[in-house]
């Protein structure tokens, strides 16, 4: 639990369906310890000495020839990033489904698929597709909406990975929450190019807008109006940041052009 980042959940990888027993009162038996602190007592319960299967206390030090294994199976510290493959008993495995379990307002355990959970949470956040579209179109910085959702415990990356498509978060929300037909980022970028929406600009300005569309399609960049992007390739091969901004007239005109570009990107909504 990380209260500062509003993380009040954890993830379980269940290979054998054992989590289905969580709601079974007969599965886990009696609690190991019941601790109800008084007004002046610490919240954490006192440590209970470990015992063997017969309830006898274990020795503080292992006998000769014995070894205590602490936290078996954990990877060594500094072990790098997440594993790309999953193995069960040495056999390669694939994650075919994920589900979410949480306590509702009545304290009842609710189990549902990751997609159903995401849909339910998004529908609570946005009353309708029109409500979401109004919010999305009115927000200059699209990333802010995603950051708000993540702060509320609803990161969209897991469901994007489950769908397995290069979807804009806009399409993900429309599709999962409101059953709208999604478009990939590349499809959205190509639709803008087909409409030739920026023929009023000169060659250099059009080259910048085309490069922004390509960057959006390839990398999913949402903050297209960040002028710092003009410092890196392929923009650096077109001209310096000052030259590229002057191609639009001034910085305000550049920002307006990018705003129009984003509006064109999200014009197609099924």
Question: Mind listing the pLDDT tens digit for each residue in 142-163?
Answer: 889 999 988 887 888 888 887 7
Which residues is 35 bridged to in the sheet?
none
pLDDT given at position 180:
92
Residue 23 and residue 109 in contact, taking contact as beta carbons nearer than 8 Å: yes
Classify residue 33 as exposed, middle or buried by CB count within 10 Å of its CB (0-12, 13-18, 19+).
exposed
Could you tell me the residue ranges of all domains in the chain? 115-178, 185-265
Query: What is the Cα–Cα distance from 60 to 124, expressed in whole angstroms?
Result: 53
pLDDT score for 72: 43
- CB within 8 A of 242, min separation 6: which ones? none
Q: Calculate ∠ Cα 118-124-126, nearest 5°.
A: 95
In angstroms, the CA 112 to CA 118 distance is 10
* Residue range 91-96: mean pLDDT, rounded: 57
- Taking only the tens place, the pLDDT of each residue in 40-59 is 888 788 777 777 667 777 66
What's phi and psi for 96, nearest 5 deg?
A: -100, -15
Express as a percent the part of the chain with pLDDT over 70.
76
| pLDDT at residue 105 is higher than 80 | no
End-to-end CA distance of the chain: 39
């Amino acid at each position: 639990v990380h209260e500062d980042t509003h993380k009040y959940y954890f993830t379980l990888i269940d290979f054998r369906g054992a989590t289905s027993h969580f709601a079974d009162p007969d599965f886990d038996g009696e609690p190991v310890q019941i601790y109800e602190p008084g007004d002046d007592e610490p919240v954490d319960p006192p440590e209970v000495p470990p015992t063997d299967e017969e309830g006898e206390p274990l020795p503080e030090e292992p006998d000769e020839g014995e070894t205590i294994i602490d936290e078996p199976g954990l990877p060594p510290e500094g072990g790098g990033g997440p594993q790309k493959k999953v193995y069960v008993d040495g056999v390669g495995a694939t994650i075919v489904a994920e589900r979410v379990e949480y306590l509702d307002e009545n304290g009842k355990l609710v189990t549902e698929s990751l997609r159903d959970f995401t849909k339910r949470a998004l529908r609570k956040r946005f009353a309708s597709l029109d409500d979401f579209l109004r919010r999305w179109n009115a927000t200059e910085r699209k990333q802010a909406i995603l950051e708000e959702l993540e702060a509320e415990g609803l990161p969209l990356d897991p469901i994007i990975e489950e769908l397995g498509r290069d979807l804009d978060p806009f399409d993900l929300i429309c599709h999962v929450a409101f059953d709208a037909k999604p478009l990939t980022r590349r499809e959205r970028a190509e639709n803008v190019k087909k409409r030739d929406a920026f023929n009023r600009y000169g060659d250099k300005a059009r080259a910048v807008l085309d490069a922004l569309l390509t960057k959006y399609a390839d990398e999913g960049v949402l903050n297209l109006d960040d002028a710092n992007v003009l410092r890196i390739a392929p923009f650096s091969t077109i001209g310096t940041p000052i030259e590229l901004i002057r191609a639009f007239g001034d910085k305000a005109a550049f920002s307006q052009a990018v705003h129009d570009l984003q509006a064109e990107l999200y014009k197609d909504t099924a």
